[in-house]
Amino acid sequence: MGRALPEHYASQETLIAAFRDAWAGAHFNPDRLDELHRAVQVSGRYLALPLEAYREMTSFAARNEAWTRAAVDLGEAAIRDALGRAGLSPADVDHLFFVTTTGIATPSIDARLVNRLGLRRDVRRSPLFGLGCAGGAAGISRASDLLAAFPDQVAVLLSVELCSLTLQLEDLSIPNVISSGLFGDGAAAVVLAGADRDGGSSTGGPAVVATGSVFYPGTERVMGWDIVESGFKVVLSAKVPEVVRRNVRGDVEGFLAKSGLERSAVRHWIAHTGGPKVLRAFESALELPEGALARSWRSLKETGNLSSAAVLFVLGELLASGEPARGDRGLLMAMGPGFCSELVLLQW
C-alpha cells in the first residue's frame, strides 16, 4: 500500500468559515450550513489547491485542468510509495489499473504516468471511471481477477480522488452542502502480485481469497453526478444509509457463505468512510463489535471521505499497524454509484 495527500490542509472550522463567506447572503440559513458541516465529524481535509485558489475555479475546464495536474503528481507519489514498500521498481509492473470519479483526461492519468514513472512500453492499462466510493474495492477485485489468469505478473491499482475540484459554489442544495463538508482529496496505490510471483507473501500482506459484486436495480439516483455546464453536480440521496442497512448484511453473509464462512470468521473489517450515518449502518446491520470500524471512523475524521481511495486508506492503516496475525481474515467492503457493493475477502 502507498498513500499520498496534497500539501494543502484546512481544518473543518477554517472551511466552514470559507463557505460562510462564499455563500453569505445566498444561503437561507447559515447556521444550518455550520450544523451540516460539523455533523459529518470531519476535523479537516487535504486540498489539491490552496484554499484561496478555489474562488478562481469557475468553469469545468479550469477545475478539470487543475485536477489533471494534481492527479499526475499525487498518483506518482502514491505508486512510488507502494512499490518501495513492496521492494519493487516501476519496471516490475505488468498492469496498471486507475480508478477515479472526480475528473476526466484523455490520455488518462495512467497513460501520463508511464513516462513519469518509467514504466515498461508493454505495460497494460485499465482506466476505470464512475465507481465512486466503491472504486477502491472494485479495483482490487479486478486486479486480483487478472492475476488469477496471469499468476507470474504484478498489477498496481491507483486511486486518485480530488473531490474539492468538483465543488459547485453556485449549488446551494442540501446534497452539495453536505458533500462540501464531507469529501476530501487524496491518492492511494496497491501493489498486487500473482501467486507464482509473490514468493509466499514475503511482504506480510494478505492474499485475496474471494471477490464479489452486488448491483441494486432501480437505485441509479441514490448517488452519482449530473453533468452540467459547470462540471459535476452531486447526486446524493438521504436514502444511502437506508440502502446500506437494508442490503449489507445479506450481501456479506451470502458472499462469505460461498467460502464456507460466517461473519464470526472475519476479524478485520475494512469499510469505506461513507460518513457517520453510513458507518453506523454498517455497524448495526452487521452487528459488529465495538471498535470494529475504529480505523474507518478515524480516517473519516482525519481526511474526510476520499471516495474510491477511502477504503484503501483504511486498508493501509491496518497493514501498517502490524495487527493482523497469520490466518486472520479481513473483509474489505465499499458501496458506490449504481448503487452497488464491492466485497473483497482477505487472508493473512
- Sequence-distant (6+) residues with CB within 8 A of 40 are 178, 181, 182, 275, 276, 300, 304
Q: Residues 173-195: pLDDT tens digits? A: 888 989 999 999 999 999 999 99
Is position 133 annotated as part of the catalytic site? Answer: yes
Give the CATH fold of the 207-347 domain. Answer: Peroxisomal Thiolase; Chain A, domain 1 (3.40.47)
Residue percentage of the chain with pLDDT more than 90 = 84
**How big is the chain, counted in residues?**
348
Same fold flag, 2-198 and 207-347: yes
Architecture of domain 2-198: 3-Layer(aba) Sandwich (3.40)
Q: Using a pLDDT cut of 70, give the percent of the chain over it.
A: 98
Least confident of 76-90, 148-162, 224-238: 224-238
Would you kindly state where each structural domain of the chain is located, as residue ranges? 2-198, 207-347
**In this structure, how many other beta carbons lie within 10 angstroms of the beta carbon of residue 293?**
22
Cell 481544518 locates to 11
Give tens-digit pLDDT for 286-331.
999 999 999 999 999 999 999 999 999 999 999 999 999 999 999 9
Average pLDDT over residues 135-157: 97
- C-beta separation of 269 from 315 below 8 A: no
DSSP one-letter string for 30-86: HHHHHHHHHHTT--EEEESS-GGGGGG--SHHHHHHHHHHHHHHHHHHHHHHHHHHH
- Annotated active-site residue in 133, 163, 187, 315: 133
Return the biggest CA–CA distance within the chain: 63
Q: What is the signed CA dihedral for 101, 103, 107, 110, rounded to 10 degrees?
A: -50
pTM: 0.94
Q: Report which of 136, 171, 137, 54 is spatially closest to residue 308, judged by C-alpha positions.
A: 136
The pLDDT assigned to 169 comes to 85
Which of the four pLDDT bands, split at 50, 70 and 90, describes residue 149?
A: very high
pLDDT reading at 202 higher than 60: no
Cell match 450550513: residue? 33
Total Cβ atoms within 10 A of residue 273: 32
Between residues 205 and 5, the one the model is more confident about: 5
Q: What are the E-state strand segments in 119-170?
A: 124-129, 154-162
Looking at residue 27, its pLDDT comes to 60
